Structure 1
Amino acid sequence: MPHIELRDLGNHDRDAAFQAVSASTSAWPRAAFADRETFDAWAADDKVDAHVVVEDGSVVGVAAALDVDGDREILLAVSPSAHGDAPTEALGLLTAREAERPLYACVSADDEPSHAVLARIGFVEHGRDGDDVVYVLPPTLE
Protein backbone atom coordinates (compact mmCIF):
# COMPACT_ATOMS: atom_id res chain seq x y z
CA MET A 1 0.00 0.00 0.00
CA PRO A 2 1.30 3.48 -0.78
CA HIS A 3 2.17 6.02 1.89
CA ILE A 4 -0.69 8.50 2.44
CA GLU A 5 -0.27 11.76 4.32
CA LEU A 6 -1.97 15.13 4.71
CA ARG A 7 -0.17 18.43 4.54
CA ASP A 8 -1.47 21.97 4.65
CA LEU A 9 -2.66 23.23 1.28
CA GLY A 10 -0.04 25.75 0.19
CA ASN A 11 0.11 27.96 -2.86
CA HIS A 12 2.58 25.56 -4.52
CA ASP A 13 0.01 22.71 -4.23
CA ARG A 14 -3.02 24.53 -5.62
CA ASP A 15 -2.67 23.49 -9.27
CA ALA A 16 -2.34 19.81 -8.41
CA ALA A 17 -5.05 20.03 -5.73
CA PHE A 18 -7.53 21.67 -8.10
CA GLN A 19 -6.79 19.05 -10.78
CA ALA A 20 -7.34 16.24 -8.26
CA VAL A 21 -10.62 17.74 -7.05
CA SER A 22 -11.78 18.26 -10.63
CA ALA A 23 -10.99 14.63 -11.48
CA SER A 24 -12.65 13.27 -8.35
CA THR A 25 -15.89 11.36 -8.74
CA SER A 26 -16.84 12.15 -5.15
CA ALA A 27 -20.06 14.06 -4.67
CA TRP A 28 -19.39 16.04 -1.51
CA PRO A 29 -21.42 19.22 -2.12
CA ARG A 30 -18.91 21.52 -0.43
CA ALA A 31 -16.08 20.15 -2.61
CA ALA A 32 -17.65 21.09 -5.95
CA PHE A 33 -15.85 23.93 -7.70
CA ALA A 34 -16.85 25.36 -11.06
CA ASP A 35 -13.42 26.84 -11.72
CA ARG A 36 -9.99 27.53 -10.28
CA GLU A 37 -11.00 30.98 -9.03
CA THR A 38 -13.80 29.50 -6.92
CA PHE A 39 -11.44 26.84 -5.56
CA ASP A 40 -8.81 29.44 -4.64
CA ALA A 41 -11.39 31.62 -2.87
CA TRP A 42 -12.66 28.59 -0.93
CA ALA A 43 -9.11 27.54 0.06
CA ALA A 44 -8.32 31.06 1.27
CA ASP A 45 -11.44 31.28 3.47
CA ASP A 46 -10.54 31.50 7.18
CA LYS A 47 -13.32 29.00 7.99
CA VAL A 48 -11.61 26.29 5.91
CA ASP A 49 -8.69 24.15 7.10
CA ALA A 50 -7.63 22.60 3.80
CA HIS A 51 -5.01 19.91 3.34
CA VAL A 52 -3.71 18.10 0.30
CA VAL A 53 -3.86 14.33 0.23
CA VAL A 54 -0.39 13.13 -0.73
CA GLU A 55 0.23 9.61 -2.02
CA ASP A 56 3.89 8.63 -2.26
CA GLY A 57 4.85 12.28 -2.76
CA SER A 58 2.15 13.21 -5.31
CA VAL A 59 -0.93 15.31 -4.59
CA VAL A 60 -4.02 13.17 -5.25
CA GLY A 61 -6.76 15.07 -3.46
CA VAL A 62 -8.01 17.52 -0.90
CA ALA A 63 -9.25 16.87 2.64
CA ALA A 64 -10.69 19.74 4.64
CA ALA A 65 -12.59 20.70 7.75
CA LEU A 66 -14.78 23.76 7.86
CA ASP A 67 -17.39 25.51 9.93
CA VAL A 68 -20.92 25.15 8.58
CA ASP A 69 -23.72 26.82 10.50
CA GLY A 70 -21.86 26.41 13.80
CA ASP A 71 -20.94 22.75 13.24
CA ARG A 72 -17.61 21.28 12.18
CA GLU A 73 -17.84 19.44 8.85
CA ILE A 74 -15.26 17.51 6.88
CA LEU A 75 -14.97 16.85 3.18
CA LEU A 76 -12.80 14.82 0.89
CA ALA A 77 -12.11 14.74 -2.84
CA VAL A 78 -9.60 12.23 -4.17
CA SER A 79 -8.57 11.61 -7.77
CA PRO A 80 -9.64 8.25 -9.23
CA SER A 81 -5.98 7.61 -10.05
CA ALA A 82 -5.21 7.29 -6.31
CA HIS A 83 -4.85 3.91 -4.63
CA GLY A 84 -8.18 2.40 -3.54
CA ASP A 85 -7.36 2.81 0.17
CA ALA A 86 -6.29 6.46 -0.16
CA PRO A 87 -9.73 7.96 0.66
CA THR A 88 -10.11 5.89 3.83
CA GLU A 89 -6.54 6.64 4.95
CA ALA A 90 -6.93 10.36 4.25
CA LEU A 91 -10.26 10.57 6.04
CA GLY A 92 -8.80 8.73 9.03
CA LEU A 93 -5.92 11.20 9.18
CA LEU A 94 -8.30 14.15 8.90
CA THR A 95 -10.64 12.96 11.66
CA ALA A 96 -7.62 12.37 13.92
CA ARG A 97 -6.63 16.03 13.40
CA GLU A 98 -10.13 17.28 14.18
CA ALA A 99 -10.73 17.10 17.93
CA GLU A 100 -14.24 18.58 17.81
CA ARG A 101 -17.12 16.14 18.10
CA PRO A 102 -19.63 15.66 16.80
CA LEU A 103 -18.04 15.94 13.38
CA TYR A 104 -20.25 16.01 10.30
CA ALA A 105 -19.99 15.06 6.64
CA CYS A 106 -22.44 15.61 3.80
CA VAL A 107 -22.38 13.54 0.59
CA SER A 108 -24.66 12.96 -2.35
CA ALA A 109 -27.10 10.11 -1.77
CA ASP A 110 -25.83 8.31 -4.88
CA ASP A 111 -22.11 8.50 -3.99
CA GLU A 112 -21.80 4.91 -2.73
CA PRO A 113 -17.98 4.90 -2.43
CA SER A 114 -18.07 7.91 -0.06
CA HIS A 115 -20.78 6.29 2.06
CA ALA A 116 -18.58 3.22 2.44
CA VAL A 117 -15.52 5.29 3.37
CA LEU A 118 -17.46 7.21 6.03
CA ALA A 119 -18.86 3.99 7.51
CA ARG A 120 -15.36 2.46 7.76
CA ILE A 121 -14.23 5.47 9.82
CA GLY A 122 -17.23 5.24 12.18
CA PHE A 123 -19.59 7.86 10.77
CA VAL A 124 -23.31 7.06 11.00
CA GLU A 125 -26.20 8.51 9.04
CA HIS A 126 -27.64 11.52 10.82
CA GLY A 127 -30.31 12.65 8.36
CA ARG A 128 -31.11 13.82 4.86
CA ASP A 129 -30.77 17.24 3.29
CA GLY A 130 -32.49 17.08 -0.08
CA ASP A 131 -30.41 14.77 -2.30
CA ASP A 132 -27.61 14.63 0.26
CA VAL A 133 -27.01 12.37 3.24
CA VAL A 134 -25.63 13.97 6.40
CA TYR A 135 -23.32 11.79 8.50
CA VAL A 136 -22.02 12.32 11.99
CA LEU A 137 -19.02 11.00 13.89
CA PRO A 138 -20.41 11.17 17.41
CA PRO A 139 -18.40 11.89 20.55
CA THR A 140 -16.86 8.87 22.23
CA LEU A 141 -16.69 8.18 25.93
CA GLU A 142 -13.16 8.42 27.23
Structure 2
Amino acid sequence: MPHIELRALQDDDRDAAFRAVSASTSAWPRAAFDDRAAFDRWSDDAKVDAHVIVEDDAVVGLAAALDVDGEREILLAISPSAHDDAPTEALRLLTSHEAERPLYACVSVDDQPSHAVLARIGFVEHERDGDDVVYVLPPTLE
Protein backbone atom coordinates (compact mmCIF):
# COMPACT_ATOMS: atom_id res chain seq x y z
CA MET A 1 0.00 0.00 0.00
CA PRO A 2 1.29 3.48 -0.75
CA HIS A 3 1.93 6.01 1.98
CA ILE A 4 -1.26 8.02 2.67
CA GLU A 5 -1.29 11.21 4.73
CA LEU A 6 -3.44 14.27 5.32
CA ARG A 7 -2.09 17.79 5.35
CA ALA A 8 -3.77 21.16 5.63
CA LEU A 9 -5.01 22.51 2.30
CA GLN A 10 -2.51 25.08 1.02
CA ASP A 11 -2.77 27.46 -1.92
CA ASP A 12 -0.34 25.31 -3.94
CA ASP A 13 -2.66 22.30 -3.47
CA ARG A 14 -5.89 23.89 -4.64
CA ASP A 15 -5.68 22.98 -8.34
CA ALA A 16 -4.86 19.33 -7.61
CA ALA A 17 -7.47 19.12 -4.84
CA PHE A 18 -10.19 20.58 -7.07
CA ARG A 19 -9.27 18.15 -9.89
CA ALA A 20 -9.42 15.22 -7.47
CA VAL A 21 -12.79 16.30 -6.07
CA SER A 22 -14.15 16.82 -9.59
CA ALA A 23 -12.94 13.38 -10.69
CA SER A 24 -14.22 11.62 -7.57
CA THR A 25 -17.12 9.25 -7.94
CA SER A 26 -18.10 9.92 -4.32
CA ALA A 27 -21.49 11.46 -3.78
CA TRP A 28 -21.00 13.42 -0.56
CA PRO A 29 -23.54 16.26 -0.98
CA ARG A 30 -21.44 18.87 0.80
CA ALA A 31 -18.49 18.28 -1.56
CA ALA A 32 -20.24 19.10 -4.83
CA PHE A 33 -18.80 22.12 -6.62
CA ASP A 34 -19.78 23.53 -10.00
CA ASP A 35 -16.47 25.29 -10.53
CA ARG A 36 -13.14 26.20 -8.99
CA ALA A 37 -14.46 29.50 -7.59
CA ALA A 38 -17.18 27.65 -5.65
CA PHE A 39 -14.57 25.20 -4.33
CA ASP A 40 -12.35 28.10 -3.19
CA ARG A 41 -15.25 29.85 -1.44
CA TRP A 42 -16.21 26.63 0.32
CA SER A 43 -12.67 25.72 1.40
CA ASP A 44 -12.00 29.30 2.62
CA ASP A 45 -15.06 29.22 4.90
CA ALA A 46 -14.01 29.38 8.55
CA LYS A 47 -16.39 26.49 9.32
CA VAL A 48 -14.41 24.13 7.07
CA ASP A 49 -11.23 22.36 8.16
CA ALA A 50 -9.94 21.06 4.81
CA HIS A 51 -7.03 18.69 4.24
CA VAL A 52 -5.60 17.26 1.07
CA ILE A 53 -5.17 13.53 0.84
CA VAL A 54 -1.62 12.82 -0.27
CA GLU A 55 -0.63 9.47 -1.74
CA ASP A 56 3.13 9.08 -2.17
CA ASP A 57 3.63 12.86 -2.62
CA ALA A 58 0.69 13.34 -5.02
CA VAL A 59 -2.59 15.03 -4.04
CA VAL A 60 -5.37 12.52 -4.72
CA GLY A 61 -8.28 13.94 -2.80
CA LEU A 62 -9.80 16.10 -0.12
CA ALA A 63 -10.85 15.25 3.43
CA ALA A 64 -12.67 17.84 5.49
CA ALA A 65 -14.60 18.39 8.68
CA LEU A 66 -17.18 21.12 9.03
CA ASP A 67 -19.94 22.32 11.30
CA VAL A 68 -23.43 21.53 10.03
CA ASP A 69 -26.40 22.57 12.16
CA GLY A 70 -24.28 22.50 15.31
CA GLU A 71 -22.85 19.03 14.64
CA ARG A 72 -19.43 18.02 13.32
CA GLU A 73 -19.57 16.35 9.91
CA ILE A 74 -16.82 14.89 7.78
CA LEU A 75 -16.52 14.36 4.05
CA LEU A 76 -14.11 12.68 1.70
CA ALA A 77 -13.57 12.92 -2.06
CA ILE A 78 -10.83 10.90 -3.75
CA SER A 79 -9.74 10.62 -7.34
CA PRO A 80 -10.49 7.24 -8.98
CA SER A 81 -6.76 6.97 -9.75
CA ALA A 82 -5.94 6.65 -6.03
CA HIS A 83 -5.01 3.28 -4.54
CA ASP A 84 -7.99 1.17 -3.42
CA ASP A 85 -6.98 1.49 0.25
CA ALA A 86 -6.64 5.31 0.10
CA PRO A 87 -10.26 6.15 1.06
CA THR A 88 -10.24 3.93 4.15
CA GLU A 89 -6.84 5.14 5.32
CA ALA A 90 -7.73 8.81 4.68
CA LEU A 91 -10.99 8.43 6.62
CA ARG A 92 -9.16 6.69 9.47
CA LEU A 93 -6.69 9.59 9.62
CA LEU A 94 -9.47 12.18 9.49
CA THR A 95 -11.49 10.54 12.27
CA SER A 96 -8.41 10.30 14.47
CA HIS A 97 -7.76 14.01 13.83
CA GLU A 98 -11.37 14.92 14.69
CA ALA A 99 -11.79 14.17 18.38
CA GLU A 100 -15.39 15.37 18.67
CA ARG A 101 -18.00 12.63 18.91
CA PRO A 102 -20.53 11.97 17.71
CA LEU A 103 -19.11 12.61 14.24
CA TYR A 104 -21.44 12.56 11.24
CA ALA A 105 -21.16 11.84 7.51
CA CYS A 106 -23.79 12.28 4.81
CA VAL A 107 -23.58 10.35 1.52
CA SER A 108 -25.85 9.61 -1.39
CA VAL A 109 -27.97 6.47 -1.11
CA ASP A 110 -26.39 5.26 -4.37
CA ASP A 111 -22.75 5.74 -3.28
CA GLN A 112 -22.03 2.13 -2.25
CA PRO A 113 -18.22 2.52 -2.03
CA SER A 114 -18.59 5.35 0.51
CA HIS A 115 -21.07 3.30 2.55
CA ALA A 116 -18.52 0.47 2.73
CA VAL A 117 -15.66 2.79 3.74
CA LEU A 118 -17.73 4.37 6.51
CA ALA A 119 -18.76 0.95 7.84
CA ARG A 120 -15.12 -0.23 7.94
CA ILE A 121 -14.24 2.71 10.21
CA GLY A 122 -17.19 2.12 12.55
CA PHE A 123 -19.83 4.55 11.29
CA VAL A 124 -23.41 3.31 11.54
CA GLU A 125 -26.51 4.48 9.72
CA HIS A 126 -28.26 7.19 11.72
CA GLU A 127 -31.10 8.29 9.43
CA ARG A 128 -32.20 8.70 5.86
CA ASP A 129 -32.86 12.14 4.47
CA GLY A 130 -34.35 11.90 0.98
CA ASP A 131 -31.61 10.67 -1.36
CA ASP A 132 -28.97 10.83 1.38
CA VAL A 133 -27.96 8.57 4.24
CA VAL A 134 -26.62 10.17 7.41
CA TYR A 135 -24.05 8.10 9.28
CA VAL A 136 -22.70 8.61 12.78
CA LEU A 137 -19.51 7.57 14.52
CA PRO A 138 -20.78 7.36 18.08
CA PRO A 139 -18.77 8.14 21.17
CA THR A 140 -16.91 5.24 22.71
CA LEU A 141 -16.79 4.36 26.36
CA GLU A 142 -13.34 4.51 27.85
TM beyond 0.5: yes
TM-score (norm 1): 1.00
Tell me the equivalent position of 2:76: 76
Tell me the equivalent position of 1:130: 130
Structure 1 segments, 4+ long, off by >3 Å, are none
* Structure-to-structure mapping, 1:4-19, within 5 angstroms: 4-19=4-19
Alignment identity in percent? 82
Q: Which amino acid is 1:61 matched to?
A: G
Residue by residue, what CA displacement relative to the aligned partner does 1:67-113 show, whole Å, maximum 9, x if unpaired?
00000000000000000000000000000000000000000000000
* Structure-to-structure mapping, 1:12-91, within 5 angstroms: 12-91=12-91
Tell me the equivalent position of 1:119: 119
TM-score (norm 2): 1.00
Tell me the equivalent position of 2:96: 96
Distance 1:13 1:60 in 2: 10
User: Which structure 2 residue ranges, 5 or more long, are not aligned?
Assistant: none
Structure 2 residue matching 1:84: 3-state secondary structure: coil
User: Which structure 1 residue ranges, 5 or more long, are not aligned?
Assistant: none
Structure 2 residue matching 1:135: 3-state secondary structure: strand
